[in-house]
Chain A
Amino acid sequence: MTCAEYKQLLAEYPDLPKEEKEALLRHAMQCEACHQALMERETLHLSLGALDEDEAVPEAFGTGWRQAVREDAKPRSSPWEAWRGRIAVAAALVVVIGGTALTRAGILFPGSLDLAQPAAQVETYAYDESAIPYAALDAAPAAGSMAKSDMGQEAVVLYSASLSLQSTQFDADMRRIEALLAQHGGQMAYQSTYGEPIANNPDAGRYAYLELRIPTAALDAFLEEAGQIGETVRMERSVEDVSESYYDTQGRLDMYTAQRDRLLALMEEASISELIEIEERLGELQYTLDTLQGRINYWDSRAADAVVTVSLEETAPQGTHPRMPLGQRLGTALRDAWHGFGAFLADMLVFLVRCLPYAACLAVAVAVIGMVYWGIKRKDKKEKK
């Protein structure tokens, strides 16, 4: 081995294989300079190996890292970590309860729930297609309310109305109704009042049923003013066009009247036997004429005046609840609260079901965003490593 080869091998000392190490040593024994170099290498190597042998690890290191690890192992007590779960639950409750309230108010998902109906209903309907607005009719009450029908004859229309009222001032409101009736030229056809005044018995209350005949031309005005008495619970109007029946009946009446007149004329020249027969026939005709005339008279009368039924119910004033016993009031309150809570829960379920499609879309979007985010984070971690 030459010194140059020796120096090359020496660079890898002390990691040389055994044979090469021995070759190195053999050369070193023959060459002083190479021997010196080997000694330096060996000493350096051994010194490096012994560098830490007699060193002591500072006590601060031992206690320091142990303490740091234990601190890090403790559950995180940051305010955010502690409250994160509660805030999430509170936010979910706000969304569900708020959404349910908005749905019940009809702001969100309108029509989803069976909302309460308004207290007063005003219905106007006609029995046939030729309903005639009464305001267009002739205002001659004696002749009835007539208008031209499609066939050129005046229409015969019957008007009816029904009014349900609640009142906290029963007596005063009854007098108002009577005053209105007189003011508009109407008449009381029927009146019935029963029950005990609420002032005497909080659980009772009076009830009045009135059947009024109001001139047809004044019907609208009467209903408008009567609707301001107490609280209107219900109002209905109906219109019935009986023109066809009326004129058919009128025609038959005319026909039978003519028949009667011919028979009366025949009686002047009839024999005794013919007189008897004519008398019999006249009797039958008269009966028919009376019936038909009666019908005509009824329609005339009904067409002239509208029939209005008014019901007046006595109620306790607001804020002055009946003096129920405490137990009964608590029971009623509990029952009402339970029913209300049950209704709210049912509405909440409807709201949640309506939200399902939106929640599903949101969940998919969050999942996709989450996957992208964690993918990027993992990639960054790998690149850092």
Chain B
Amino acid sequence: MHGNELLVRRARKGDADAFEALMAPHERKIYFLCLRMLGNREDALDCAQEAMLRIWRSMATYRGEAAFTTWMYRIATNACLDMLRRQKARPAVPLETFLETNVLASDDRDGPVEQAEASARKQAIEQGLARLSDTLRAAIVLRDVQGLSYEEISGVLDTPVGTVKSRINRARERLREILARDMELFATERVYTGEGRKSI
């Protein structure tokens, strides 16, 4: 990752262009981390921009002890947790909003019923995530949504790996309990992804 190291070095010196090139591949991850943590797009937009700005301003302090992505996620996660602490209420996402904006790009072979099921599934997950505590939500989003490893999550949350595993398990169990009444949405043998079908 020689090119990345060069960008990091330049960004640490205050080169905004280098920082932009460095963060462009990660901006999507940052945004969706904030979206899944905060549960609504407005707050996610504010939080994600705040997170990017914090990462930029903290570049001079990055010493390379941890991987850049781990360090970056740590700042973004802390930004999300800070914003959650400042908020008094976590509004539930209206169904209509998700039906309008969160339509899965389903396979052409999927019919309207399957598309509606996928959309409902997604909405249910989002509402379930919103009902988790901040710490459990952070653990499950980083693991199951963002795909970080246990070690990476340990670095992001500054928590031992064992604690991370425990939180993730509890978060999954809790999410399952929240979604219990909607479990028929998750009982199908066909699971829709953006690219195709996957059988269990």
Contacts and interface: CB of A to CB of B under 8 A. Distances in A.
A1 B194 CA distance: 35
Residue among A11, A40, A72 facing the most chain B CB atoms (10 A cut-off): A40
Contact of B48 (A11, A43, A61, A72): A61
B31 A39 contact: no
Chain A interface residue number, banded? 35 or more
Residue among B19, B32, B191 facing the most chain A CB atoms (10 A cut-off): B191
Interface stretch (B1-9, B51-59, B62-70, B87-95): B51-59
A235 to B, nearest CB: 75
Contacts of A61: 27, 31, 45, 48-49
A51 B176 contact: no
Contacts of B41: 58
Interface string A29-58: 000000010111111111111111111011
Contacts of B198: 46
Contacts of B195: 53
Contacts of B57: 72
A15 B139 CA distance: 14
A332 B41 CA distance: 81
B14 interface: yes
B145 A51 contact: yes
Nearest to B106: A54
Given A43-B191, A48-B144, A49-B145, A65 B125 contact: no
A52 B145 contact: yes
Contacts, number: 117
A64 B47 CA distance: 12
A69 B56 contact: yes
Decide if the interface of chain B is mainly helix, strand, loop or mixed: helix
Decide if the interface of chain A is mainly helix, strand, loop or mixed: helix
A383 interface: no
Contacts of A57: 27-28, 31-32
Given A50-B193, A58-B41, A69-B53, A44 B27 contact: no
A338 B66 CA distance: 65
A42 B193 CA distance: 13
Interface string B24-60: 0001100110011000010001001100110011000
Contacts of B176: 40-41, 44
B187 to A, nearest CB: 6
A40 B187 contact: yes
A39 B186 contact: yes
A73 B14 contact: yes
B147 A42 contact: no
B130 interface: no
A344 to B, nearest CB: 44
A136 interface: no
Nearest to B33: A52
A381 to B, nearest CB: 9
B186 A40 contact: yes
A177 to B, nearest CB: 84
Contact of B200 (A11, A39, A52, A68): A39
B52 A70 contact: no
Contacts of A66: 20
Interface in B144-179: 144-145, 147, 150, 165, 168-169, 172-173, 175-176, 179
24 contacts: A12-B165, A15-B168, A36-B187, A39-B186, A43-B186, A48-B145, A50-B104, A50-B192, A51-B32, A52-B28, A52-B32, A53-B193, A53-B195, A55-B32, A55-B102, A58-B41, A60-B45, A61-B27, A61-B49, A64-B49, A68-B53, A68-B56, A69-B52, A73-B14
